[in-house]
Chain A
Amino acid sequence: MAAVKDRSGARYRSSVWLGRTLILVGLLAFFEVAPGRWLDELLVAQPSAIGRTLGEWMGLDGGDAVLWGAIRSTLGRAAGGLIIGTVLGLVAAFLVWRSKHIANLFEPVAAVVNSVPRIVLVPLFILWLGSGLAPIMVYVVGTAFFPIFYNVLQGLRSSDRVMLDSLRVMGAQDRDLLSAYLVPHSREYALAALMISAPLTLVSTIVGEMLMSAGGLGGLLVASRNDFDTDGIYAATLVAASLGVVTNVAVRSWNTKQRSRALEAEGL
């Protein structure tokens, strides 16, 4: 038998990881050495300095632990916005699907609102709703709402009329319809929407915090920039970046787990 090129072999995988590590190490080394020599040290921070700043922010070395508070704020707001937005989206999708009248009333409005660039509305919200938490939350909830609303609506609309009618004939009420058929059926759609809206809410929260200098990671970013704190701004960016990556990975693995559970349920 002919030898098939060992593309998934152990040697190949280790060479790939070697490549990845080399690049990372190379970058770190370069940025450690470059500021002061080839790059302006006011503009580029050294990884070691970034590390030190992070340490201070974590409360080590006698710095005040701003980091945890900031992360907590941002994550809290993002999660809150995501939950509220998702719930509203689900309810709205169900109501719109259920009643033609509500659909005729609500869908055009939603379409118009969705076509307005949300990010430009934030300063408007700040103007109207003051400088508290409200503008950010409205923005974040809005970000979470639309993907869920449209996706679940589509899921509901693609449901099998015949199935629903036969369930109704068997005496099912709305609640029963929901649990027996609608929820499992729309699940894929909802999950797909969450894959989009979860990272999006994190980004919107940070964006909102940036625009309002309202604490949290966004506030940290803007503050470091205003203070001309080179190490600080790189550190803050790094934290925000890591948070984004972690969220993304978490969402994706949760999604995969949901998928495999659903497949198991279908006997695959």
Chain B
Amino acid sequence: MTVTDTARDVAELGTRSGASLELRGVSLAYPGPGGAPPAPVLQDVDLSLRPGERVALIGPSGCGKSTLLNMIGGLLEPDEGQVTYDGGPIAGVNTDVGYMTQRDTLLPYRTVEANVALPLKFRHERPDDIRRRVDETLEQVGLSGFGRAYPGQLSGGMRSRAMIARTLVYRPRTLLMDEPLAALDALLRQKMQSWLLEMWGRESMTVLYVTHEIEEALLLADRIVVFSRRPARVLLDLAVTAGKPRDTRRDPDLIALHDLVWETLRDQLEAPSDATAFQEHRGSWWSRLARRRHAG
């Protein structure tokens, strides 16, 4: 990339419609079961995204990436520190954001169409508009003929795409994606990755993308942030400056980045893990309800 390209990009960044995001000194702990001490999940996390920036989050499983996303979504509040969205604090649930979770949250008793239409219905859009936009979005994710099907009839990959469709249909300014392509086979994943890239470029969204695949991160993101095990802190924050399309296998800069991230993660994974999370304890119907809240 030349200097002028970079300058133009920087100028464009100012006019992109994605929102900015900032976390400062954020810490959170989950209450321990029974009388156990609270388990820290995030420790003093600093992270900021400029409008329109695409950032990939990588870290070992269970390190709190989903918790982080939950906080940006307004579902959780940090114990310490501050989360700022688009210059202001987050009050309640953040509906400006598109959140695609790792779990399957499609309503199994509604058709794919009905599911994708949900955010538009909640915003009281006109039925014709809803129908049109749902059809468009379904076509974009390649699920055109499947509107009337129920999620139970679709494969895992198709369900992921339906969830993506549901997340995008209302054009959020910021996207939080938690391993959205994990259920797809390699070929489909490649297709979806280029589609995502193209769509992000078109819509100028700020994207926070959680993934396990270092290659995917290198392919999609402007920055890679690597998290440690619990309690999670930011270990690495690397810019990816290669031009697109990227060749993760042959570009020496990308290979070097890949190795660096890989080494860092390997160190994290080899340390002994913390099994206190597995202590089950029955408790009342109410505490079961409450625990569900935290298990997400």
Q: Which residues of A contact B (CB under 8 A)?
A: 1-2, 4, 7-8
Contacts and interface: CB of A to CB of B under 8 A. Distances in A.
B290 A7 contact: yes
Given A1-B38, A1-B79, A2-B79, A8 B287 contact: yes
Contacts of B290: 7
B31 interface: yes
A7 B286 CA distance: 9
Nearest to B284: A8
Contacts of A1: 29, 38, 79
Interface in B19-50: 29, 31, 38
Contacts of A2: 29, 79
12 contacts: A1-B29, A1-B38, A1-B79, A2-B29, A2-B79, A4-B31, A4-B38, A7-B286, A7-B287, A7-B290, A8-B283, A8-B287
A7 B291 CA distance: 13
Residue of A1, A4, A7 contacting most chain B CB atoms (<10 Å) = A1
A2 B32 CA distance: 12
Nearest to A2: B79
Nearest to B290: A7
Contacts of B38: 1, 4
Which 9 A-B residue pairings sit nearest by Cβ, starting from the closest? A4-B31, A2-B79, A1-B38, A1-B29, A1-B79, A7-B286, A8-B287, A7-B287, A7-B290
A266 B38 CA distance: 31
Given A7-B286, A8-B283, 10 more contacts: A1-B29, A1-B38, A1-B79, A2-B29, A2-B79, A4-B31, A4-B38, A7-B287, A7-B290, A8-B287
Contacts of A8: 283, 287
A73 B77 CA distance: 62
A7 B283 CA distance: 11
Contacts of A7: 286-287, 290
A50 B283 CA distance: 38
A2 B26 CA distance: 13
Interface in B65-86: 79
Contacts of B286: 7
Interface in B104-126: none
Interface in B253-296: 283, 286-287, 290
B81 to A, nearest CB: 12
Nearest to A4: B31
B20 to A, nearest CB: 26
B42 to A, nearest CB: 12
B286 to A, nearest CB: 7
A130 B31 CA distance: 66
A150 to B, nearest CB: 28
A190 B29 CA distance: 44
B33 to A, nearest CB: 11
Contacts of B283: 8
Nearest to B32: A4
A102 to B, nearest CB: 39
